[in-house]
Amino acid sequence: MIQGPEPEATRRSAGTTESSRANRRWWDRNADDYQREHGDFLGDDRFVWGPEGLDEAEAGLLGPADGLKGLDVLEIGAGAAQCSRWLAARGARPVALDLSHRQLQHARRIDLGGAGGADPAAGPALVQADAGVLPFADASFDLACSAYGALPFVADTARVHREVARVLRPGGRWVFSVTHPVRWAFPDEPGPEGLTAVSSYFDRTPYVEQDDRGLAVYVEHHRTLGDRVREITAAGLRLVDVVEPEWPEWNDQEWGGWSPLRGRLLPGTAVFVCLAP
């Protein structure tokens, strides 16, 4: 938890280093609360694309599940590596990368059976690194994926796509989910106040929480739908699908600003499916 006065929420510029440093500290401080609050919904070894609950087991955005066997997979912004564990159970060889040491400690906790009883030997490899500088050789992976990991928090997302394109083998797949861009025009509130557009969708100024000295303690970055498409194609990747999960009847859970009320009216998540040449 953040000690001292509540941080101030504002919109201002925040570069690569400031964003990365602020978010690493934020996720280290808040990982325990995050896993306590969302761990049941995420499951120890499920692959959930976002708060709507779209499950890879049904969505098949990574390709047919029986085709995952033997693939080298990079999960970016893996958190406690729940998605990587689902991939490992299907015979893939996942590497779970995250900026936050504390998030990766939660991954290890789950692998050691603290919560889910998973087999530690079958757990994914864990790597602490920044998504903007992937510590892997060219053409190391068949598949890269990210469920809300890293991309919402990174200043230079174009660089992440270039890095992913570099580490993918020819024909490899890159699938990632982020907050749906249209949400940036609305207050991040689950109730009716979150249904009225109050700011410009076109304003790319980052959302920043800063301390009383003006230092960022949390940063999120906005890209419009067109920005995302341009960044993907500029990295040499081909965009083959954009999935906007609908809010399902069974899901009555709120997750921050995501709620059944808003989910029935507005998209909350966008999942981009890309292929390397």
Ligand X SMILES: C[S@@+](CC[C@H](N)C(=O)[O-])C[C@H]1O[C@@H](n2cnc3c(N)ncnc32)[C@H](O)[C@@H]1O
Long-range Cβ contacts of 227-233 (<8 Å, 24+ apart): 227/181, 228/157, 228/178, 228/181, 228/270, 228/272, 231/157, 231/158, 231/161, 232/161, 232/272, 232/274
Q: Pattern of binders to ligand X over 63-102, x per CB under 6 A?
A: --------------x-x---x--------------xxx--
Task: Give the interface size with ligand X as a residue count (CB under 6 A).
Answer: 19
* 184 touches ligand X by CB under 6 A: no
* 20 touches ligand X by CB under 6 A: yes
The span from the CA of 45 to the CA of 60, in Å, is: 16
Q: Which of 36/238 has CB closer to ligand X?
A: 36
* 131 touches ligand X by CB under 6 A: yes
| Residues pairing with 177 in the sheet | 147, 271
Q: How far is CA 196 from the centre of its chain?
A: 26
Q: Which of 40/241 has CB closer to ligand X?
A: 40
Q: Which span sits near ligand X by CB under 6 A: 2-10, 142-150, 164-172, 254-262?
A: 142-150
Handedness of CA 16, 17, 18, 20 (dihedral sign): positive
Cβ at position 57, least distance to ligand X in Å: 15
Q: Which of 92/200 has CB closer to ligand X?
A: 92
* 247 touches ligand X by CB under 6 A: no
Q: Which of 20/259 has CB closer to ligand X?
A: 20
The span from the CA of 63 to the CA of 70, in Å, is: 14
CB neighbours of 234 closer than 8 A, spacing ≥ 6?
Answer: 158, 161
Q: Which of 7, 25, 27, 141 binds ligand X (CB under 6 A)?
A: 27
The span from the CA of 49 to the CA of 88, in Å, is: 17
**Residues at the site binding ligand X, with contacts judged by CB under 6 A:** 20, 23, 27, 42, 77, 79, 83, 98-100, 103, 130-131, 147-150, 153-154
